[in-house]
């Protein structure tokens, strides 16, 4: 089964992370990592109720980290951890994070 996370800022800025040969991250560890990044990067809840869904965290963390964290080799380890955490927290082997439309696809 294919396992991949794609993060895109538009047609010319798409980054694919192949997770086939990568050790899966446990679900609770993935949620914890996303929570930590959400706080560290100064993300704010996007819903008026203040409730933060896991999908919202994924979008906010990717947006706050910025495209350079996915593009530059110096941040490759962080980007792979993001991909692993995203796949595990959402319990989906294939995830598309579209920051132009602020949406996730499975």
Q: What is the reported pTM?
A: 0.93
Domain extent at residue 97: 4-105
Tell me how far apart the alpha carbons of residues 23 and 40 are, in angstroms, rounded to a whole number.
25
Domains in the chain: how many in total? Answer: 1
The candidate with the shortest Cα–Cα distance to 98, out of 2, 40, 1, 15, is 15
Q: Please provide the average confidence, as pLDDT, over all residues in the chain.
A: 93
DSSP 29: H
Q: How do beta strands 14-18 and 94-98 pair?
A: unpaired
In this predicted model, what pLDDT tens digit does every residue of 24-64 receive, in sequence order? 899 999 999 999 999 999 998 887 777 889 999 999 999 99
Interaxial angle between packed helices 54-65 and 76-90, expressed in degrees from 0 to 180 and rounded to the nearest 10 = 170
- Split at pLDDT 50, 70, 90, the class of 86 is very high
2 vs 33: CA distance, rounded Å: 23
């Amino acid at each position: 089964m294919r396992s991949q996370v794609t993060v895109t800022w538009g047609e010319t800025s798409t980054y694919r992370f192949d997770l086939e040969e990568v050790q899966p991250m446990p679900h609770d560890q993935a949620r914890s990592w996303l929570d930590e990044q959400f706080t560290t990067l100064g993300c704010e809840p996007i819903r008026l109720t203040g409730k933060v869904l896991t999908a919202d965290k994924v979008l906010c963390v990717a947006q706050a980290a910025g495209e350079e964290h996915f593009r530059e080799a110096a941040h490759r380890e962080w980007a792979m951890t993001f991909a692993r955490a995203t796949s595990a927290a959402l319990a989906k082997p294939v995830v598309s994070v579209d920051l132009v439309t602020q949406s996730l696809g499975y």
